[in-house]
Structure 1
Amino acid sequence: MNKIVLLTATALGACLWGCGNPQTVTVTVTNPLDAERTGEMIEVPAAQVFQSLNLPDTAHIIVCNAQAQEIPYQLTHDGKLIFPVSVSAKGTEAYTIRQGTPAETDTVAYGRHYPERLDDIAWENDRAAYRAYGPALQQKGEQAYGYDVFTKNTDRLVVEDRYAMELDTAAWAKINALRKAGKKQEADELVRQISYHVDHGNGMDCYAVGPTLGGGTSALMPDSAIVYPYCYKEYEILDNGPLRFTVKLTFNPLVIGNDSDVVETRIIRLDKGSQLNQTTVTYANLSQPTPVAGGIVLHAANAEGYAHNAQEGYIAYADPTTEPQSDNGIVYVGAVFPDTAVQTKVQLFDKPAGDALGHVLGICTYRPGDTFTYYWGSGWSKYGFDTDESWTDYLKAYAKQVRHPLQVTVK
């Protein structure tokens, strides 16, 4: 496994000295739950930290835990200082921050726009990888409304290499030449060698989206009917590692009831160590409270492989992958809802859309001027989740955490 923080002996010595230095800020973190919380990301106001240390916001700082060990951090686009913490059940931990040069930190949360692949936005962390489809795909007429899931079984960043391999122009020139020469078998074999739909040792794209909400997309539901958003219109990457990736997506106007210019905006963020993306959704120009859902597509090969529980705040599905007969494992997909008034249910299509039967949904009420925040994401049976129950247990624990956040004070 890659080291996330690389500490030299000098840097470690500096941290040991700095954590006892009076010129420090103390961040106290209390866990209200009776379960240990490990590697959870917290946020503190960066301006408060720099002001307390009498430092400009361009100064370098070091964060240490109670054992005087330096830990990685990131300054985010919205003025937060974030870093991972571990707190025992019903426990309290103290972290200190001081001026100093931080140790080198590997980037473990990263994404970008891929204009060379029809405007995909793809991103990943050390646990999972995702994709949102863009305007170039929409212009082709392909119906792909939802989020896509890329499986991975490594903490290394792999998506960039997958796209480079899949879109290798020299390889495709050779493939086309072989096909033109009637050498279909050789051409097909070369396609397999470069395709990200084939597992080359670190995961693959084996998840089907189509005209559905895919792996957790949000949608308004006036009169119980899903109004599908299409591909994003505009994007802005707000944070790009080392610990958090954040992207803002803006969509084309929708017609919702009597409102003909409803514009959806999503802010999606993925942190180190998390299977799930936090997503905050707003709808401009919506005049009335309207149901809004986060949904997961159900496929025919595992029609009963879902679970949902409104009281515990989650929906889940064990997706059989695009080729259930192959050794692609199971893609576990789920969503978590902080809103305790969420309703969960299965809603089937009037008739199947290909092999898609419908969705498992978590439904809340969106009120004009408000926000809808929920969490969605995935796991893989070849990377830490060996049963359906292990995945639902993860979602249940995650829901408890977002409904009972860590209590953070800064002094």
Structure 2
Amino acid sequence: MKYKYFKSSLLAISFFQLMSLTACSKTVKAKEINIEIKNTLGFSRNEIISLQRNKLQPLLDKNNPKNIRVKEYGTDQYLVTQWVDNDGDGKGDELLFQANVAANATAKYVIMLDTIQVAEPKAKTYSRFVPERIDDYAWENNKVAFRAYGPVAQQLVEQGKEGGTLSSGIDLWLKKVDYSIIDSWYQKNVANPGYYHIEHGEGYDPYHVGASRGTGGTGLWENDSLLVSKNYVSYKTIATGPLRTVFELIYAPWSIYGLQEVKRISLDLDSNFSKFEISYRSNKRIPNFTIGITLHDKKGEVNINKPKGWFRHWEPIDSVFVGEGIVLCPKLIDTAFVHDSKTTDQSNLLILTNPDDKITYYAGFAWTGSKQIKDVMDWDAMLEKQAQIIAHPLVIKIEK
């Protein structure tokens, strides 16, 4: 507000009115938070940004968190946002939005209050427990889909009954559309068993896990053998929404070490990689913590890039090619190698790590049928980018 706009009527405005105008001006100013996001890498990045609740406190005081909006500086269009309640207390702990930052550049965003609604995109992230297929847990975004297996599926195998799966490996669903397919494929599979194993135009599930690690399954390497857990025993869905899905899978203690894992898994919109944040405890110190990728019938190609922390398998499945990969901080890696076994499902690319009691890694894939990649060089380039993203996270500066 400039002085010349009220100069002629200054004498008519009381002291209390002036104080009210001043307070109003301060309130408006407090209802915006400016953010700078810096990309130090030589390629553009489209990533989900997480802002912790305490960083947004000036906007939250006596205001509804649902009215917080985000827009790129200099524009009037609000971006899609998502609150994530990590501890289940009914309050959002972090606010998510998707930032697009050019190579070696800085992008500016504004956080503010507004009651205008923002339409969610058609593509979103999703996960759920699937009782209609025994007790799978499945998750997806607009690029990829995965699933893990639960205790009832394990019991069926142990009881010698049909239909079960005994595996703590991670399964891949090769989707080629950007919309959600989990509910549809499972529903159609109930009416027509085996439906999602056949290509109907949206993709399919030709990927075999069995007792292998799938892509991202874990274990312990000891005496030239891989020790692994059984199926997850319980789950917890933490978030689904337009930008990120988060859930936990809990595994019963296993091996002579009494190792108990809690796998917190998240998947962001537009990403080909699930993020695994695993915390564990054991009765005694474990020799290592191993992450694997199945080699199936050993007709694929392996690339071990220990210095940069990415590991790749490229294999033909039916008439297409699938690239699977693991990416993690190189400092966590002890060694990596191909374990070639004559036993079915026991040939794996193995990465041995030595974390304390927690480890974070990314497991993902792409396939030529989705048109996301054309060949193995594209897949290697995607893995290389993911490794650089992990090593050089976006730098977020909140202006006060």
TM-score of the superposed pair, with normalisation by structure 1: 0.81
Counterpart for residue 96 of structure 1: 110
- Closer, same or farther: CA 391–55 of 1 in aligned 2, 3 Å: farther
What does residue range 281-300 of structure 1 map to in structure 2 within 5 Å?
Answer: 281-288=278-285, 290-300=287-297
Shift of 1:73: 1.3
- Return the alpha-carbon distance in structure 2 between the equivalents of residues 407 and 223 of structure 1: 43
**Helix, strand or coil: the match of 2:343?**
strand
- Return the alpha-carbon distance in structure 1 between the equivalents of residues 154 and 167 of structure 2: 8
- Identical pairs, percent: 27
- Return the alpha-carbon distance in structure 1 between the equivalents of residues 167 and 57 of structure 2: 45
> Does structure 2 retain, via aligned residues, the 8 Å contact 1:24–1:53?
no
- Return the alpha-carbon distance in structure 2 between the equivalents of residues 404 and 278 of structure 1: 16
- Return the alpha-carbon distance in structure 2 between the equivalents of residues 155 and 147 of structure 1: 21
For residues 304-334 of structure 1, the C-alpha deviation after alignment (integer angstroms, 9 at most, x for no partner) is x11110111111112323xx3xx3x122211
- Return the alpha-carbon distance in structure 1 between the equivalents of residues 51 and 173 of structure 2: 31
Counterpart for residue 251 of structure 2: 251
**Helix, strand or coil: the match of 2:143?**
coil
Counterpart for residue 353 of structure 2: 364
**Helix, strand or coil: the match of 1:90?**
coil
Counterpart for residue 111 of structure 1: 127
Shift of 1:233: 0.2
> Does structure 2 retain, via aligned residues, the 8 Å contact 1:235–1:249?
yes
- Return the alpha-carbon distance in structure 1 between the equivalents of residues 101 and 59 of structure 2: 24
User: Match of 1:281, as an amino acid?
Assistant: I
- Return the alpha-carbon distance in structure 2 between the equivalents of residues 307 and 249 of structure 1: 29
Picking from 338, 342, 345, the partner of 2:333 is 342
> Does structure 2 retain, via aligned residues, the 8 Å contact 1:143–1:210?
yes
* Gaps in structure 1 of 5+ consecutive residues: 1-20, 172-190
Q: Structure 1 stretch 372-381 or stretch 135-144: which is displaced more?
A: 135-144
Counterpart for residue 162 of structure 2: none
What does residue range 381-400 of structure 1 map to in structure 2 within 5 Å?
Answer: 381-383=368-370, 384-400=372-388
**Helix, strand or coil: the match of 1:247?**
strand
User: Match of 1:248, as an amino acid?
Assistant: E
> Does structure 1 retain, via aligned residues, the 8 Å contact 2:298–2:347?
no
User: Match of 2:147, as an amino acid?
Assistant: R
**Helix, strand or coil: the match of 1:93?**
strand
What does residue range 67-216 of structure 1 map to in structure 2 within 5 Å?
Answer: 67-68=74-75, 69-78=77-86, 79-101=93-115, 102-106=117-121, 108-141=124-157, 142-168=165-191, 195-216=195-216
- Return the alpha-carbon distance in structure 1 between the equivalents of residues 270 and 80 of structure 2: 13
Counterpart for residue 31 of structure 1: 39
User: Match of 2:114, as an amino acid?
Assistant: G
> Does structure 2 retain, via aligned residues, the 8 Å contact 1:301–1:320?
no
Shift of 1:60: 1.2
Q: Over the residues paired in the alignment, what is the CA RMSD in angstroms?
A: 1.9
Counterpart for residue 160 of structure 2: none
> Does structure 2 retain, via aligned residues, the 8 Å contact 1:31–1:89?
yes
**2:266 aligned with 1:269, yes or no?**
yes
Q: Which of these two proteins has the greater Rg computed from alpha carbons? A: 2
For residues 137-185 of structure 1, the C-alpha deviation after alignment (integer angstroms, 9 at most, x for no partner) is 10012432300000111111111100000012xx5xxxxxxxxxxxxxx
> Does structure 2 retain, via aligned residues, the 8 Å contact 1:53–1:98?
no
- Return the alpha-carbon distance in structure 2 between the equivalents of residues 286 and 44 of structure 1: 37
User: Match of 1:210, as an amino acid?
Assistant: G
For residues 247-282 of structure 1, the C-alpha deviation after alignment (integer angstroms, 9 at most, x for no partner) is 1011011124xx3x3211100000000000010111
For residues 46-72 of structure 1, the C-alpha deviation after alignment (integer angstroms, 9 at most, x for no partner) is 232143453445441111013413211
- Closer, same or farther: CA 217–55 of 1 in aligned 2, 3 Å: farther
Counterpart for residue 182 of structure 1: none
Shift of 1:220: 2.7
- Closer, same or farther: CA 408–160 of 1 in aligned 2, 3 Å: same
For residues 217-243 of structure 1, the C-alpha deviation after alignment (integer angstroms, 9 at most, x for no partner) is 122334553221211000000011121
- Closer, same or farther: CA 242–382 of 1 in aligned 2, 3 Å: same
Counterpart for residue 13 of structure 1: none
**Helix, strand or coil: the match of 2:166?**
coil
**Helix, strand or coil: the match of 2:259?**
strand
> Does structure 1 retain, via aligned residues, the 8 Å contact 2:279–2:358?
yes
**Helix, strand or coil: the match of 1:351?**
coil
